[in-house]
Chain A
Amino acid sequence: MRRRDFGAVAATLGMSGLLPARWAQAQTRAESLRVLSEAGPNSFDPIGIGVNRNAIQLHWNAYDRLLRFGTQTRPDGTLYFDYYTIEGELAERFEVSDDKTAITLHLRRDATFHDGSPVTAEDVKWSLDRVLGIASGRAQFSTGSMTSPDQFVVVDAHTVRVTTPRPDRFTLPNLAGTYPVIFNAKVAKAHATAADPWATEWLKTNVAGGGAFKLDNYVPGQSLTLSRFDNWKSGALPGFRRVLWQMVPNAQSRRSSLERGDADIVQDLPPQDAVSIAQAGKVKVVGVPMAGAFQFIGMNSAKPPFDNVKVRQAVAYALPYQQMFEAALFKRGQPLFGGKPGEADGTAFPQPLGYSTDLEKAKALLVEAGFANGFDTTFSFELSLATVAEPVSLLVQEALGKIGIRVTIDKVPGGQLGTRLEKKEVPFFFEGSAAYFADPDYFFRIFYHGPTRWNFGSYNNPEFQALVDKTRYETDKAVYDADVSRMIALVKQDIPIILLWQPALDTGMQASVEGYKYLFHRQLELRTLKRG
């Protein structure tokens, strides 16, 4: 029996006792959504140890934040978040003071949590303080100049003020990010203990919020059932009343379920599946280039031979970009190769770094660097990225062989590459990452600066480092743009990491599902989805 017909048959046979009570209440197919993803959340709390990406999909939809990013529409009709527009969510409006050091947020007076209690400034204060109370939250909030609970002031029951020591472009985006969800503080505090003042243990497995969806049921590693919170005030009511989200580890099984019509949405399609499903045409595939996300080839510029800029440039000229883009990514993404060499092309970043395949130039650069006979090196990638990294590594090996660089491929089991990158002991590798905020200086601060593993190329150019610090609080747009242009020129010339592309986020869905919105965290926005 097809699942689709099950409700009808069950009703006619009078065996409604077989169906979960909630589903049986004449739930029509139109109002329920079935989502399949590879993995599920490992926590309902946005902040904590090892919280995975799938956790965002739950807390994003089950909690509200004070602010959210605006929406723009792509040419193909897909909704896309707009980083540079920030609007109120739980705050119906907000004002930024003239000196740009205070943000006053006015809460919606009618907003309630799932348990019916009103959302107050005290809840907001507790939730923001909590971010600072947990190590990874504190690290994130400090990127928006929020470091002390004193900066969150309760003005009255429905007004909160956030102050910063100086104007900071990242304060508002941080408040609209994934961390500062607003908890029902009374409920959460009831589960706090002396050893665990922020109720992290309890909130890991329980939801105390007021988001557009309520969590009805959770079976770890298998499924989540969500239902719409009908008293939600922070936006238009979502189109689906029920959402069943299941975890199906095998990509092939997810795909056949989608094509058979049993699943409504299948997340994270591998590139080759996205291409062939789209060709088959039974269901639609929405592919959106992931803002801020990128895949790249890193070189440890702190150690020989990659400490020599000519060696790095030689590698960048030797890579077969187009072939890699086609064979590994099936063109599902936005290239970051080619483009304008040596200088900035606009101030957006990541942007194409200006390198195209040119073996003669590569050979010449290698000779100039003093490696006329080439050298031996090891190219590492993590097995979890193998679908893309494996073909990339083979093409890298072949291409570099042509200029005398002998490459050994090292496939690193999941979870271990991070440790080795942290110790800065990997010479040459494939990786991917993403920045949530679109400002170029934010990107540079994380991926081209500092001692963390996120400075994948161990880049350490004094001029560049000075500019990273200088742009941090820059408020003059013209000065900022000039500095960013200089930084872009530097990373193009010094090329500590070779950006390859921004992969697309491919999501498969039934033709009847509408309102898909791409968000910076790449998880589903359930609020805008509906059945057409």
Chain B
Amino acid sequence: MAFLLRRLAGVVPTLFGVVVAAFVLTRLLPGDPAVFFANSVTADAATIAAVRQKLGLDLPLWQQFLVYAGQLLRGDLGQSVGTGQPVATDLLRLLPASAELTLVAFALAILVAVPLGVAAALRPGSVIDHACRLLSTAGVSLPTFVSGLLLIYIFYYQLGTAPEPIGRIDPFAIPPPGITGFLLIDTLLAGDTEGFAAAARQIVLPAVTMALFALAPLARMTRASMLGVLGSEFIRTARANGLRRRKIIVSYALRNALLPIVTTLGMVFSNMLGANVLVERVFAWPGIGSYALDSLISLDYAPVQGFMLLMATIFVLVNLVIDLLYAVIDPRTGLFHA
């Protein structure tokens, strides 16, 4: 418990650093938002000045920062010019979409990558090892927008088995009442099995695309880590003592191989959540990655800052969870006893 509190206390300076960094980095962007937003061809210097004042960019930097920090303390992340909505509203609407896609893809990737990596490590050089290598090489080398477009072309355009790759739900269907923001959960809560099936069909292609991308590091790491553990002396001892194969692999080998795998999992997850812009683009998935990119391109400071803050918070939380998992997997880390 003390450990948990200490860790949580450590989060505060990190987040403050992120707030400062987000503010400074957006201000360092070349490009003047006032010029960009005064985009009508009749806009003259007076118009640009008026826009600059309206955006609060005519103030000195330190004043702008105080205004921003003051807003943050009130829980206000500012206004997005790009969507015309408050940033907090935007993020709350978009984060569940990204999170749902990421979690489904993440689950898919784990379900495939870990057994595959273990199997490959058990029989190095076998067919399954080669299959593992092939899949992870393909996953790494195919950019996600290529695999995404390929899947769309085959399953939607040619075969017609997949639904139209646009958004999270059939545009003609009513969305379920938003409780969690996760369509797969909300439809079930509303008892709408038809809606659940529709949302599930919609998520398959983007999730597979993302899973392909996440598969490679996971499978490789599982294989390497398992190989290392399987060659170690305590496994040899276990074998010599005639323990059951299943027990050796699952209880002794896998458990000891898990630490680097969990570390990779954490990194892959955080990466997927923030860096799935291309998948979101290709499938018109209304997620935060797309939103942040659009805002960045259009010099829209508030959403970019909000996004950085949100992602930093998520990274911090994921790292916390990973640390806790370490303690569960490997008591030697001693986190609970210190």
Contacts and interface: CB of A to CB of B under 8 A. Distances in A.
Do chains A and B interact in one complex?
yes
A337 B247 CA distance: 78
Most buried by B among A51, A250, A260: A250
B60 interface: no
Given A220-B85, A257-B164, A248 B195 contact: no
A140 interface: yes
Given A414-B298, A422-B32, A222 B167 contact: yes
B172 A50 contact: no
A249 B281 contact: yes
B137 interface: no
A84 interface: no
Contacts of A2: 160
A42 B36 contact: no
Given A18-B194, A23-B172, A220-B93, A413 B85 contact: no
Contact of B41 (A135, A222, A446): A446
A219 B97 CA distance: 13
A102 B32 CA distance: 41
Interface stretch (A122-130, A398-406, A449-457): A449-457
Interface string A108-146: 000000000000000000000000000110011011000
B84 interface: yes
A206 B297 CA distance: 26
Contact of B156 (A256, A384, A451): A256
A185 to B, nearest CB: 22
Interface string A412-441: 011110111010000000000111000000
B83 A42 contact: yes
A419 B84 contact: no
A205 interface: yes
A253 B41 contact: no
B42 A253 contact: no
Q: Contact size class for A?
A: 35 or more
A393 interface: no
A49 B45 CA distance: 14
A256 B32 contact: no
A223 interface: yes
Given A49-B55, A415-B299, A419-B31, A256 B157 contact: yes
A43 interface: yes
B208 to A, nearest CB: 16
Nearest to B175: A219
Contacts of B172: 3, 6-7, 19-20, 23, 244
Nearest to A178: B40
B9 interface: no
Given A43-B84, A248-B166, A414 B40 contact: no
A455 B41 CA distance: 10
A49 B57 CA distance: 13
A153 interface: no
Nearest to B287: A221
A28 interface: no
Nearest to A382: B297
A247 interface: yes
B81 interface: yes
B43 interface: yes
B81 A260 contact: no
The 7 closest A-B pairs by CB, nearest first: A50-B37, A135-B50, A416-B31, A414-B297, A419-B32, A248-B284, A220-B83
Interface of B: 29-32, 35-48, 50-51, 54-55, 81-85, 90, 93-94, 145, 149, 152-153, 156-157, 160, 164-167, 170-174, 192, 194-195, 281-284, 286, 290-291, 294, 297-300
Given A49-B55, A414-B298, 17 more contacts: A18-B173, A44-B84, A49-B51, A52-B39, A139-B40, A249-B281, A250-B283, A253-B282, A253-B283, A256-B157, A259-B157, A413-B297, A416-B30, A418-B39, A433-B41, A451-B45, A452-B44
